[in-house]
Amino acid sequence: MNRKEKTILVTIVADLLLVGLKYGLAALSGSLAMRASAWHSMGDVFVSVFVLAGLFASRWEARRRGQVGVIENVVALVVSGLIFYVAYDIFREVVVGAERPDLRYLWPVTVASLLTIAITYFTARYKEYVVRATHSPSLIASGYHSRMDLYASVLVVVSLAAAALGLEALDQLAAIIIIVFIILSGWEIASSALRALLSGGILQLEEEDLAHVRHHTRQLVRFAVAALVLFTLLSGFYTIQPGEQGVVRRFGQVIAAVEPGLHYRLPLVDQVDRVALDQVRQTQTGTALMLTGDTNLIEVNLSVHYSVTDAVAFLFNVNQPEQLVARTAEAAIRQTVAERRVDELLTTGRDKILAQTLAQTQALLDGQKAGIRVDNVQLLAVNPPADVAEAFRDVASAREDKNTYINEALAYSNEIVPVARGDAEKTLQAAQAEKQRRMDVAAGEADRFVKQLLAYQDTPQVTRTRLYLESLERALPAVHKFILDPSVQAGTTDLWFSNGQSGALPFDGSQ
């Protein structure tokens, strides 16, 4: 293995350590510029790998044809293409697709980032030193990319220090500038490699050659920067979907709460947080041991459904809102359970307990100005502790038996009482009917008597005779009766009592 190959292996190891360090600092601080710089260093690793492969291939070609330029020029083109892809990936990952996170631990990360400058400086200077000794075109390309990585690392440290002083927007601006660095280095390498291939020579990326390339590509770089600035300005347009509310922050300070629709913000300065107001969120308190009002222990697990009513308060007045809702609901259910008997919690008092818990939870959240509305509270589990579970089951069984007997008694009562009420009503109705009948008969008899009296007063003899005949009719209803004139003597007249039968004997007056 020659000196150039050893140099690439050393720088690959250094770059891997650098990538790990930058990714760790980016995860710790949330810095977009540090993440972009990590992508840049990752590209440097790939560049070194391609260069190493080109060196091995060029050695084989040199033994065969004695020429080393063609393969290394092709490798340089591959490297430039990879650089362009890294630039695009950083722009898509950091600028276009991702929202700016909150920066944290800025001063410790800024101090630790000085180590990234030291590593990149060592890598770039080491490659340049070997380049002067070996005149390797592909190593020149890799060394130039390491130099750009050094510039990016310095820019990241400056942006982190500025963000620590309150200029957090410079972090995203630094990420944009790093993209420009990557595009510029890739274009210079690609232009030089193409020029070398077309001219039949080898790649030359010394300072004077780079100046020549920059002279021809200055307008292209200006156009790229202008396009990048225009795209950045256009990226200020954003939309808030129906059911959402947007919160616009400028340098960390809330300046507006926007409704659904198309809006514009200052790129790299304003940050937009979107909060779904129509989303029903859910959390659980977890199983907790509670003391009831009658000094019983019970395990309760509560589920809470809630939604956001004020996006600004939800984002900035509380930390970890889901945990806040869970702990608030647990405090409310503890207070409610402490005022109730265990029987109410296990049987018929659940609805009242849940309603009181919801009201108390909402009151506590309103006191915190959390911007949260509690929609529903549900009991997922209400169980006695394991040590007394058997006793609770016996009590529950006895309670069920009690309820069974009560229900049976109520069923019997519901069966007997209506029948008794019906019989009583029937008797009352019959008595009322008999009363009315007797009153009607008495009234009729009285009326008949009055009419008979009036008739008797008018014609006494006729009335007396008629009454006499009617009396006989009632007394002897089944006997044939004969009416004799008073002039007929009884001794000469036979009376026949037939009683409706034939062959009856005559009756003489002597008998």
DSSP state string for 185-245: HHHHHHHHHHHHHHHTS----SHHHHHHHHHHHHHHHHHHHHHHHHHHHHTTEEEE-TTEE
Looking at residue 237, its pLDDT comes to 83
SS3 track for 119-175: HHHHHHHHHHHHHHHHCCHHHHHHHHHHHHHHHHHHHHHHHHHHHHCCCCHHHHHHH
Instruction: Give the residue with greater pLDDT, 439 vs 101.
Output: 439
Strand order of the sheet with strand 244-250? 253-258, 244-250, 270-276
Task: For residues 451 and 467, state if they share a domain.
Answer: no
| Most confident of the following: 72-81, 116-125, 501-510 | 116-125
Give Cβ neighbours of residue 492 (< 8 Å, ≥ 6 apart): none
Amino acid at 490: A
Distance of CA 396 to the CA centre of its chain: 36
pLDDT tens, residue by residue, 160-219: 787 777 666 667 677 777 777 767 767 766 776 777 666 655 444 444 444 554 455 555
**DSSP category for residue 274:** E
Task: For residues 364 and 500, state if they share a domain.
Answer: no
CB 316 within 8 A of CB 343: no
pTM, full prediction: 0.46
pLDDT tens, residue by residue, 245-272: 889 888 778 888 888 888 888 876 788 8
**Confidence grade of residue 298 (pLDDT, cut at 50, 70, 90):** confident
Amino acid at 478: A
Task: For residues 455 and 467, state if they share a domain.
Answer: no
Looking at residue 65, its pLDDT comes to 44
Task: For residues 228 and 369, state if they share a domain.
Answer: no
CB atoms < 10 A from the CB of 491, how many? 8
Distance of CA 30 to the CA centre of its chain: 27
CB 205 within 8 A of CB 137: yes
- 185: exposed, middle or buried (C-beta count within 10 Å: 0-12, 13-18, 19+)? buried
| Most confident of the following: 62-76, 338-352, 399-413, 476-490 | 399-413
Task: For residues 110 and 227, state if they share a domain.
Answer: yes
Could you tell me which residues are beta bridge partners of residue 302?
Answer: 379
**DSSP category for residue 499:** T
Q: Is the pLDDT of residue 62 over 60?
A: no
Closest CA to 373 of 287, 311, 286: 311
Q: Read off the CATH number of the domain in which 59 is found.
A: 1.20.1510.10
Quote the number of domains for the chain: 5
Looking at residue 232, its pLDDT comes to 67
Instruction: Give the residue with greater pLDDT, 443 vs 72.
Output: 443
Task: For residues 102 and 193, state if they share a domain.
Answer: yes
Mean pLDDT of the chain: 77
Task: For residues 303 and 395, state if they share a domain.
Answer: no
**What whole-number distance in Å separates Cα of residue 205 and Cα of residue 71?**
16
Q: Read off the CATH number of the domain in which 322 is found.
A: 3.30.479.30
Domain holding 268, by residue range, is: 239-276
Looking at residue 358, its pLDDT comes to 93
- Which string of b and e fits 59-93 if b means at least 16 CB within 10 Å? bebeeeeeebbbbbbbbbbbbbebbbebbebbbee
Lowest-confidence range among 391-395, 425-429, 432-436?
A: 391-395
**Confidence grade of residue 22 (pLDDT, cut at 50, 70, 90):** confident
**Confidence grade of residue 481 (pLDDT, cut at 50, 70, 90):** low
Task: For residues 374 and 401, state if they share a domain.
Answer: no
Task: For residues 77 and 182, state if they share a domain.
Answer: yes
Instruction: Give the residue with greater pLDDT, 298 vs 15.
Output: 298
Q: Is 40 left (phi over 0), alpha (psi -120 to 50) or beta?
A: alpha
* 32-65 helix and 69-90 helix, angle to the nearest 10 degrees: 170
Looking at residue 161, its pLDDT comes to 81
Task: For residues 94 and 199, state if they share a domain.
Answer: yes
Looking at residue 332, its pLDDT comes to 93
Looking at residue 496, its pLDDT comes to 55
Q: Is the pLDDT of residue 307 over 90?
A: yes
pLDDT tens, residue by residue, 33-46: 787 777 777 767 76
pLDDT tens, residue by residue, 408-433: 999 988 889 888 888 899 999 999 99
* 3-29 helix and 137-164 helix, angle to the nearest 10 degrees: 20
Looking at residue 406, its pLDDT comes to 93
**Confidence grade of residue 220 (pLDDT, cut at 50, 70, 90):** low
Q: Is the pLDDT of residue 151 over 60?
A: yes
